[in-house]
Amino acid sequence: MDQIQEMSDQFKMLGDKTRLTILAMLKEGALCVCDLVGFLETSQPNVSQHLRKLKDAGLVHETRKGQWIYYSLQIEDKPYIGTILDHLPSLRENIDSIKNNCCE
């Protein structure tokens, strides 16, 4: 039953358009908050709040590189999430066009 509850909570995370978009972006590779803010056209605090929820749900991992934090998917042990993300359209071109140099 605990596993079903965990899966239910994770699927709830995918029910929000912003969080689902963040996961689709991270499917293309690790990104920093400023890259996500640029694409989502929302505030940094809003993106950070969504990332915190995704991290708490065990879907996102953060890695510090100097003063910047990069976020990546953490779904290796969640093949059911990977299957869903496989069906999302690629955002690679969109990400490449808005990629900020704020983190370099």
Q: Residue 48 maps to which CATH number?
A: 1.10.10.10
Residue 104 lies inside a defined structural domain of this protein = no
- Least Cα distance to 38 among 100, 82, 93 occurs for 100
Residue span of the structural domain in which 7 resides: 2-96
Classify residue 27: in a domain, yes or no: yes
pLDDT, block means (10 residues), the chain with 104 residues:
90 94 94 88 94 95 92 95 94 77 61
Residue 21's pLDDT is: 95
State the pLDDT at residue 104.
Answer: 59
- Torsion over CA: 18, 21, 22, 23 (sign): positive
30 domain-assigned: yes
Cα separations in angstroms, 19 against 25, 74, 85: 10, 14, 12
* Cβ atoms < 10 Å from Cβ of 102: 12
Residue 36: which of 74, 82, 71, 65 has the closest Cα? 71
* Total tally of structural domains belonging to the chain: 1
pLDDT at position 47 is: 96
Q: Is residue 73 part of a domain?
A: yes
Residue 44 vs residues 33, 60, 78: alpha-carbon distances, Å = 7, 17, 28
pLDDT of residue 34: 87
Looking at the domain assignment, is residue 101 inside a domain? no
